Structure 1
Amino acid sequence: MRALRKTSEGPGLELVEIPEPVPGWGEIKIRVERTGLCGTDLHIYRWDGGAPGAMTLPQTLGHEFSGVIVELGPGVEDEKGAEDLRLGQRVSVEGHVVCGRCRNCRAGRGHMCVRSKGIGVNRDGAFADYVVVPFENAWVQPDTIDAELAALFDPLGNAVHTCQQATLTGQDVLITGAGPIGIMCVALAKHAGARHVVITDLNEDRLDMARKVGADRALQPDAEVLREAMVELRIREGFDVGLELSGAPSALQMLVDFCNHGAMLALLGLPTKPFAIEWGKVITHMLTIKGVYGREMYDTWYVATFLTETSPELREALRSVITHRFTPDQWEEAFATAGSGRAGKVMIDWEK
């Protein structure tokens, strides 16, 4: 089968032929339909960030994907909770494989497992014709969710998890970072009934994408421009909710400066290094800052599916985040596009 792999240390990947994987105890085999490119994949491709030291080479990349179950491994049919798994079902997959034994896992907080392993990072991933995963990680999708939408559920889950940290209905929401997840947060906030949603980013192409999914204002991260927008929208005391998706130090400070006293700030964007913020304002304005990682396993998956299957408008808003589609043979162009900063979500179609 085809597989896009990291075969040696340093920049680059290789599309190679390897044997099809065989599911072990409690695993299922999935024929991959679509995969999305993530920032993590770009770091592995470039061999920078946290990629060196995180992988055992050679290894197949890919953790945002959808596919069809083609084989149930030994023991799966006897496992509790596997009764709904059948051949031919379309699934999305939770990318974190958890230990099940640490305190967080046993308390139902698997997304905070201290021994979590990442599909496509710590074990072979889905940039391939087939992949095997633990049966617990498979999320069966309803017929209304096609292969492309199903492949979005990893980043969509991040967006849902971030948005769930605060009440959005009737609130003024400021989002920093208009990458694919930030744009999804705009669509989710508007779907939840937010009063106004304002998003900032340096990239005009991505700001335009945010406008198309319902942002009331999509702006450059400039304090004066933001103040003018607040006047126009009659936001007098500050934003009620801040969602940080960029990882930029200046973005968090912007949320601190422009959110109302008592606001909730949810942070999903990962900074590249430590930085200072104005803690005096955080304390005196009684701001709540909460870090967000991944998806709640598996409550976020339920919410994401329910929201998506019941709203054609939301489905189309989310689909608009996909801006480029490639075949596996075009993987170099796909990675160049994803790394250009001008694309939304880049997809690879493994059925071609």
Structure 2
Amino acid sequence: MRALVKAEAAPGLVLKDIPEPNPGPGEVKIRVLRAGLCGTDLHIYNWDDWAASMLKPPLTIGHEFYGEIVEIGPDVAEGDDGLKVGMGVSVEGHVVCGRCRNCRAGRRHMCIRTNSIGVNRDGAFADYVVVPATNVWVQPPAIDPELGAIFDPLGNAFHTALQTPMIGEDILITGAGPIGCMAAAIAKHAGARNVVVTDVAEFRLDLARKAGATVAVNVAERSVRDVQNELGMREGFDVAMEMSGVPSAMADILDNCTHGARIAMLGLPKDPFPIDWGKVITHMFTIKGVYGRDMFDTWYHMTFCMESSESFREAIRGVITHRFAAEDFEEAFAAAATGTCGKVIMDWSK
């Protein structure tokens, strides 16, 4: 089969023929139809310090995907309540141990021994991939391959957004990357009053507007405070989601949130940075770090919202800006690296 492989500890990837995998006990084999490019994949392509510390070549990469079950391994429940050949599925990319305290307490997304598909084990930039049956998420007919391929990043956005109720609230989202734009669509769908998204890239700010942002602000040109005044907000934002990993964005959040605001942080900073903890304390902010998806509560929310609303589905689809054949992976990675893009999708079906 075709597979996009990190063949050696150096920059670049190779599309090559490798043997098809076979499912072992508790596993299923999936034919990959669509796969999304993630920032993690760019790190691996460039072979930076993080990638070198996490991945041992040779390895097939890729973790955002949708496909069709083609084979079920031993010890996997089948029938009306289980998995069947032919089902269209997405996959949770974090494989957990099931034995640590968090796993045994039902907090699998906090597993201390998590390993990741496409990073610590062979991934989905290939014709076929084998994954644990427990990680498979069966999709309803309303979720097509393209939408199903981005449930991993959509889950990041949902997990962040669902840290606090948003009905009638004023929401500040810093960072208009694909996940920030998805979060804007979620906030709008959830009944927020104002959804303000900040960035410095006009291309991505335009994506945020299309996704449902009330206002998308280029903070290189005007301040969040000015936007508050324009919207008639007297006290500041009730909820903030930090999606950029940029220190100045966190400073903007602390300066523009009302007392008692709830702040969820998903964006990973490149380096440590200072925070005005005096303001955090005196303004009684609640700050929550968010990583991955809540397994599997987030998945239910994603599927139910997508299944029940065509307008929401199309708002999320609008975040996809580039589509490439698998053979054109170099162009796909180049597009993802420019920053003038939303989600980049590769087609493995042909």
CA shift, 1:65, in A, is: 0.3
Match of 2:197 among 177, 183, 199: 199
Which stretches in structure 1 are left out of the alignment for 5+ residues?
A: none
Letter in 2 for 1:23: P
- Which string of whole-angstrom CA distances, capped at 9 and with x for unpartnered residues, describes residues 273-302 of structure 1? 111011110110000110001001101000
- Residue 37 of structure 2 corresponds to which residue in structure 1? 37
Taking only the aligned residue pairs, the percentage that are identical comes to: 63
Contact 1:159 1:184 in 2 (8 A): yes
Contact 1:35 1:347 in 2 (8 A): yes
* Structure 2 residue 123 is matched with structure 1 residue 125: yes
Alignment of 1:1-352 (within 5 A): 1-77=1-77, 83-222=81-220, 224-352=222-350
SS at match of 1:218: strand
TM-score using structure 2 length: 0.98
User: Once superposed, which parts of structure 1, at least 4 consecutive aligned residues long, lie more than 3 Å away?
Assistant: none
Q: 1:278, 1:222 → 2: CA distance?
A: 22
- Which string of whole-angstrom CA distances, capped at 9 and with x for unpartnered residues, describes residues 159-208 of structure 1? 00000011111000000000000000000000011000000011100000
CA shift, 1:83, in A, is: 3.3
RMSD of the TM alignment (CA)? 1.2
Q: 1:97, 1:119 → 2: CA distance?
A: 7
Which stretches in structure 2 are left out of the alignment for 5+ residues?
A: none
SS at match of 1:178: coil
Contact 1:82 1:135 in 2 (8 A): no
Letter in 2 for 1:154: D
Q: 2:319, 2:37 → 1: CA distance?
A: 12
CA shift, 1:225, in A, is: 2.8
- Which string of whole-angstrom CA distances, capped at 9 and with x for unpartnered residues, describes residues 72-115 of structure 1? 0111137xx99320000000000000000000000000000000
CA shift, 1:10, in A, is: 1.5
Q: 1:253, 1:82 → 2: CA distance?
A: 51
Contact 1:173 1:194 in 2 (8 A): yes
SS at match of 1:77: coil
TM-score using structure 1 length: 0.98
SS at match of 1:53: helix
The size of the alignment, in residue pairs, is: 350
Q: 2:73, 2:267 → 1: CA distance?
A: 37
Letter in 1 for 2:85: L
SS at match of 2:322: strand
CA distance 1:75–1:322, shift in 2 (3 Å): same
Contact 2:217 2:224 in 1 (8 A): yes
SS at match of 1:289: strand
